[in-house]
Amino acid sequence: MKPAAFDYLVPQTVAGAVDALAAGAQVLAGGQSLLLEMHLQRAHPALVADINRVPGLDTLTVVDGTLTVGALVRHKTFESPGAVPGPLGDLFARAVGYIAHPPIRARGTMTGNLAWAHPASEWCALAVALDAVVELRSTRGTREIPAEDYFLGPFQTARDPDELLTAVRYPLLAPDTGVAFTEHRRTGFSFAQVAVGAALTVREGVITGARIGLANCADRPLRAHNAERTLIGSEPSQPVFTAAGEAAAERDAAPVPEPYADVDYRRHVVAVLVARTLREAAPV
């Protein structure tokens, strides 16, 4: 199908983009979700603002232990070893290979992915687990929202329609943090049935820090707080990781049934994948 007719603007500045949004435009970033929706006639924006010519949005910066990812940083950037320092970069590099396939990773953006807010998104789950903050700009000013408050449901966020998601910020992970990312899906290019990202800090043989992000385990990305609580203060071991997996499956996840994967099956996958991801993050 062809998209319905629309007007097309190419703002040259963030202020111009924000003005376009105030006039009712929808942002075009990588176009990997928006254009598909328009072709399928499930999205009918009358005005599209293509932000790809706005300078300064394609940068990754690290200042005072915080990584800032601009709105035009493509998925593939995170495939490069060292693009982001330390364990955070390692975690992103492990996750990004699960996102779609190379042409989509070459154009799609991390912030476009957070704006789209698919419940199975790898970036959305990591944003919640890692205490990311999204920066939103409109003609009314700039505000920041913690990722855990930003995602409200499938394809629903706290972003107002006239707000441009200009950047997402992550605190860097401590150098002695172990990370892992695992995923279960039907085919190589399918969205995740369940995906799990984890960051574990073990000091003097005891788990002192735990972050677990879950994708497609509820109507929105989740941080597995109950599972994390079972880990803190314990020595890393297979029984401890198995118990954390069971806590994530029974007390954190709230899976909805999907074709090929009912709720019981998906809880089982959560338990297995969480335990496996933790074991990879902190080998025992």
Task: Please give the residue ranges that form the binding site for ligand FAD (CB under 6 A).
Answer: 26-34, 36, 71, 99-100, 104, 108-109, 111-113, 115-116, 118, 121-123, 164-165, 191
Question: 3-class DSSP state for residue 245?
Answer: helix
Q: How far is the CB of 100 from ligand FAD (least distance, A)?
A: 3
230, 247 contact by CB (below 8 A) = yes
Distance CA 277, CA 127 (A): 17
**How close are the terminal C-alpha atoms of the chain, in Å?**
53
Residue 208 C-beta: closest distance to ligand FAD, Å: 30
Tokens encoding 174:
């401590």
Least distance (Å) from ligand FAD to the CB of residue 233?
33
CB of 238 to ligand FAD, least distance (A): 29
Residue 111 or 201 with smaller CB distance to ligand FAD: 111
**Side-by-side strand order, sheet with 66-70:** 60-63, 66-70, 164-171, 133-138, 141-146
Looking at the Cβ atoms of 77 and 121, the one nearer to ligand FAD is 121
Can you read off the two tokens belonging to residue 55?
Answer: 């300078």
Comparing CB distances to ligand FAD, the nearer of 109 and 230 is 109
- Helix (H) / strand (E) element for 9: namely strand 7-9
Judged by DSSP in three states, 187 sits in coil
Whichever of 137 and 276 has its CB closer to ligand FAD, that residue is: 137
Smallest distance, Å, CB 157 to ligand FAD?
Answer: 9
Residue pair 161/21 in contact by the 8 Å Cβ criterion: yes
What is the nearest approach in angstroms of ligand FAD to the Cβ of residue 54?
10
- Shortest reach from residue 217's CB to ligand FAD, in Å: 14
> What tokens were used for 251?
């007390």
Nearer to ligand FAD, 178 or 213 (CB): 213
Residue (134 or 207) nearer to ligand FAD, CB: 134
Choose among 61, 26, 17, 19: nearest CA to 166: 17
CA distances from 85 to 38, 56, 122, 210, 259 (A): 37, 21, 19, 19, 39
Distance in Å, CB of 277 to ligand FAD, minimum: 17
Cβ proximity to ligand FAD: between 149 and 264 the closer is: 149
Cβ within 8 Å of residue 99, ≥6 positions away = 75, 105, 108, 113, 122, 123
Minimum CB distance to ligand FAD smaller for 60 or for 243: 60
